[in-house]
Every structure is written in C-alpha cells, then in structure tokens.
Structure 1
C-alpha cells in the first residue's frame, strides 16, 4: 500500500490530465510552410508524445503577423524562429527566448547553377543576387566577399520576394540564399547541379542556430512545467526522426499531404543527421554561438539596442 501511495504522489499533473482526458491546449506557430525542419513536431504529434505530456498541440502557419510576433504577444505559446531574428528582436526588447536548436549548424548558403561558374564569393562580382530585401543580406555577402578581396559594389542585388528559386536562376538572377536541406535536395531530385557556398565555411560567427524553437519570457515565468513538457515531447520527436528518417518522413507527408513525398523523404534522409550533429544532445545551444553572431551583427551595424546573449536562450528545459 505504501508503494502505491508513493507512486500516486509521484504522478505528474500532465499524466493526471491525460487520464482525465483534459489535455492542456497549446499553439505552436511555424516560421514557414511545413518542411523537414519541422519533422520532429509532426512525429511528436503522430506518436502521441504530446499527449503523454498532457498536451494538445495545434500546429499553425504563421500568417502575416509572423511567428516571433505571435509568440511575443502570447497569441501562441511556442514557435519557430532563427538566431538572427531573435538577436534583433531582443535588442528591441521583444521578450522571446530560444529553448532548443533544431539544427546544430547553419545549413544555409548561396546557391547557383553550376553552369553559372560561381565557385567562390569572388565570382559574385558581375553577377545578380536575388534576395528578399533585408539589410543582413548585403552584410553577409560583403563578409564573404571581403575574405577574397572582392567588391560587393560589383554585385547587382534585386528583390525576388517569394519567387521560385529554379525559375529565378533561369530567368532573372545568378544566385540566391537557400537552405540546402530543401531547395538543394530538390535540385538533386531534378538532376540540376548546384554550386554552394555555405555561410559556416567562411566564418564561425555565421555558423549560428537556424532554426530554433521559441517561447516567451512570460511563458517561462508563468508556466515552466508546460514548457518542460513541450520540450520533452519535441525532443522525443526529433530523436525519433534522427534514428528513423524514412518513417519520420512518412509521418510528415501524412500530416501535410500537399508536400512532395519524394522530396520529403530525400530531404529527411539528408537532414536527420544534422539535427543533433556534434552536440551532446538534441537541442543544446552554446553561449559562444549567440555571442559570436551578435558581435558580427554589431560589427556590421545591424544591431540596434542592447543584446544580452545569456537572456536570449536556455538549455534548462531540455531533458537531461
């Protein structure tokens, strides 16, 4: 009887809620349309990991407001962002916090068709770059080109908005900034040869966390148990995707049937090993990575206001 009483005392509230059928409703807002950056979330949903933690999670698209704004305003409890946008947001006193890194290293870079002959940042001279009009783009281009004594002023920069990469490089531009796990893998499936210059290969300070999972300071303060339960379930989801990429890809395709299943599977096979990579556990973040990127932003006059790296992220909610 004593054992039973002790066991009952040790039962957490989330399990009690699950038994009572009263799951806590939370909203999670994506940064973009669903892709393999998000697989762990859909796995956690499909495998019942959220339910096991007493949570009923609604996965939402960001809409015009954007994930950071919705999370900061309390319209969604959790979301997806990236280190660069959190750094800017916190310098503007927007109280969002990164609680897990989805990927350990920056898998983005500048891509071009191989036939364009762009093999290094020096080759950007005389070419047209298609971007989305953010000041950080020119600063990143300049950082890479400076290392090869190349002149950013010899690059024509145009705003291509949400134009399709493959259409744009055949018609309007020579190169663009992409995430290889999706656009690069799609190029492979299409039989299109690309040249890539990954940001992380040119500067340690540009090997930042992108994407990350966020919540608000208020959520951490008022509902730490919910944050811990959510992170535990998501961790299980990404750990499953690491070990079972094909099965995880099937779960994402099932949840979002509009996605190209062949692309999802190939992308998942490429990205699964990148989730944890060389970190001791999935989701872990390092202070020096946050400090380094903030220093780079400051050096490039991109950061307005005070940024305290220690307040921008936490590993406290990751399972031990």
Structure 2
C-alpha cells in the first residue's frame, strides 16, 4: 500500500465556505449520550479503510455512534481534500494533521479547528535500508539522495532540514511517487514514508530498515486529528461532544484488542481492498505507540497538552506556515467539557 502525501487543499471557493450545519435543524440539540437524535454523520477519513481507522470501526460495530445519538455514520475513504470537504460542509468531521490543517487555515482562511487528536506523534519518517543509506540521524542525510513526493511533503522535508541545521544543498532531493520501489531498487538512499505503512511494507518484503522519525527529530506535530468547522463548534457543541465520546469509546475498544481492529479492517470495512492481515496487525501495533503516551495515560485519549501545542506551533514556523496563535488551530474546549462531565472516558486501557 502507498500512503497519501501531506495535502495542500485546493483553494476554497466562496461556495465552499457556505458552511452546512450538521443535520440542518434549528431545534435545540439533546445532550451527548442521552439518546437524542443528532441525525446522520459524515466522517472524511484520511486514507483507505485499513487498520488506521480501527477505532472508528469499533465505534460503529459496537454501537457507540448510535448510543451517542447519531442515526447513521458514513465513513468516506481518502485520500482527498479533507480540509475543503469539511469546510464546505460536505463532511461533518475529518481526520487530518496539524500541518495540513494549519496550511489551509493560513492560506485560505478556512474556518477549521482541531478538536482532538488520535496520534500524539506523527508517523512521518525518512525510511532507508539498513544495508543501504542507513539514515539513523539527521546528519546522516548529508550527501544522500532522498525520495520526496511533490507538494506538502516537500515543505515538510525542507522543514526537517531547517530545524536540524542541514544545508539543503548537501542533500539531493529526488522526486518520487508514494511507492517505495525506488528505495528498494537503489535509486534513492532514503524515502519519505509513514512508520505505519511503507516502513512495514518494505520490512515485510524481507528488508531490514532504518527509520528517522520526524516526531523525534525536531518536527513534532499531531496527526489523525479530528477537524470540524467553527460553526459546528459554536452552533452544535453537543454534536461535537457526542462524536468525541463515540470516538474515545471506539479507540478504548481498539486498545483492548488491536488484532480485532485489524480483522475489522481486513474482513469487513476494507474487505474489497485485499488487505494483508499480518501487515494490518503490525500496523495496529505500531500506531498504538503513536496514540498512547504518558500524557495520554494521564489525561485521556484525544487530548493535547499545552506543551505539545507549543511544539506544534514551532513545527509550523519551521515549515514556513504563518500561524502562531494556538487558538487559530486548536479548540479543545468541548473535549475538556466532555471529560469533566464523564471522567470515566479518561481511562486508557491496555490490550488484554
């Protein structure tokens, strides 16, 4: 499987900014989890229906979305212009990351906010072969040929060089697509990839790999973040809280049984994709390390600490994105309200 690039959404037209409220009703909303009919929900996924969305599958299969008050939940697979789809009201919520979302907010004045995040650590990495480029530190990039996809990934790679004080002229940036074949074939020494995807794919093909994770080398930012519109937050707060509750419950179920999450991807939600069970199980295990951190164990799933927010803003600055105010990108107020009202949701279970 190939992984999507970090997207720069298409320009938002005036029509796209004519936001559509969830359900289109002017009636007061019933509180989350109290059996109110919040109507149908559309969630724009960031990628194909693989194990990356196992928590959503649990939330659907185990009835958490229904219990929260949603009559129906549609999960639209990616890739696609997630931010544009949410800003235009074509999707009620989307799964994106801090850099992609901030870029659209800064460049297009999109009325979007991150209201919670699944991945505390982003999965971007420079992937290399252990008996090839073996890029284990930022300085190992010097003199190497690195495969980088066009668009947002170039911005991200340039930021990696910037924060580590590496002269861009000392690294050869080679245009590639998202298939890691150029790395295996020796056309490049390193390849911009995902820890949860290409890294596993290459390793499963029989190669020993080395990873240089962005999150551990100067570019921490949240990913698989839940985004919605300012209008949704202001006018439909109970819808947002209901969705966040169902998400937390689904990801709690996932953490108790990641392998079942992989099975749901392979046999049910992604049954038409010919997914490999062993790879999906491994992906589930790897992504758990991106989801659960000491901060999450203390504060609960989807939460983002003030310190991590500041780290995200520093990453945006390194990427040349003019967005310095945390309130321009993050609104965690409804998540905080939810966890205060239902402290049992703070539980972070471990696999049985």
Q: TM-score, normalised by structure 1?
A: 0.84
Q: Deviations over 1:2-57 (max 9, x none)?
A: xxxxxxxxx8586545xxxx661111111122333321111111111111112111
Give SS of 1:181's match.
coil
1:159 matches 2:159: no
Correspondence for 1:312: 329
Matches within 5 A, 1:77-116: 77-92=92-107, 93-116=109-132
Change (3 A) 1:63 1:244: closer
Q: CA deviation at 1:189?
A: 2.5
Q: Deviations over 1:106-164 (max 9, x none)?
A: 33211111121333322323322111223423423413652xxx5321222122133x1
Q: Which residue is equivalent to 2:217?
A: 202
Q: CA deviation at 1:272?
A: 2.4
**Structure 2 residue 135 is the aligned partner of structure 1 residue 121:** no
Once the two structures are superposed, the pairs formed by residues 256-267 of structure 1 within 5 Å of their partners are: 256-257=270-271, 258=273, 259-267=275-283
2:154 is aligned with 1:130:
no
C-alpha distance in 2 between matches for 1:172 and 1:307: 38
Matching of residue 26 in structure 1 with residue 41 in structure 2: yes
Would you say the 8 A contact 1:32–1:62 is kept in 2? Answer: yes
CA RMSD of aligned residues (A): 2.3
Match of 1:5 in 2: none
Q: Structure 1 CA distance, aligned partners of 2:269 and 2:184? A: 31
* Runs of 4+, deviation exceeding 3 Å: 11-17, 166-169
Cα distance in 1, alignment partners of residues 185 and 167 from structure 2: 24
Q: Assess, with a 3 A threshold, how the Cα gap between structure 1 residues 151 and 23 changes in structure 2: closer, same or farther.
A: closer
For 1:116, what is the secondary structure of its paired residue? coil
**1:181 shift after superposition:** 1.9
Aligned residue for 2:343? none
Query: In 1, Cα distance between the equivalents of 2:209 and 2:257?
Result: 28
Residue 43 of structure 2 contacts residue 94 of structure 2 at CA under 8 Å; is this kept in 1? yes
**Separation (CA, whole Å) in 2 of partners of 1:49 and 1:123:** 46
1:270 is aligned to 2:286: yes
- Unmatched tracts of structure 1, length 5 or more: 1-10
SS in 1 for 2:197: helix
**TM-score for both structures, normalised by structure 2:** 0.77
Cα distance change of structure 1 residues 123 and 290 upon mapping to structure 2, 3 Å threshold: same
User: Structure 2: where are the runs of 5+ without partners?
Assistant: 1-29, 340-352
- Counterpart CA distance in 2 for 1:23 and 1:101 is 22
Equivalence for 1:7: none
- Residue 292 of structure 1: CA displacement? 2.9
Aligned length: 297
C-alpha separation between the residues in 2 aligned to 1:292 and 1:277? 15
CA distance in structure 2 between the partners assigned to 1:161 and 1:184 by the alignment? 15
Separation in 2, partners of 1:63, 1:126: 33
Structure showing greater Rg: 1
Provide the rounded CA distance (Å) in 1 between the counterparts of 2:233 and 2:167: 45
1:42 is matched with: 57
Aligned positions of 1:65-84 closer than 5 A: 66-84=81-99
Alignment partners' CA distance in 1, 2:163 and 2:310: 20
1:38-94 deviations in Å (ceiling 9; x for gaps): 211111111111111121110002465x11110011111000110111222222321
Closer, same or farther: CA 142–12 of 1 in aligned 2, 3 Å = closer
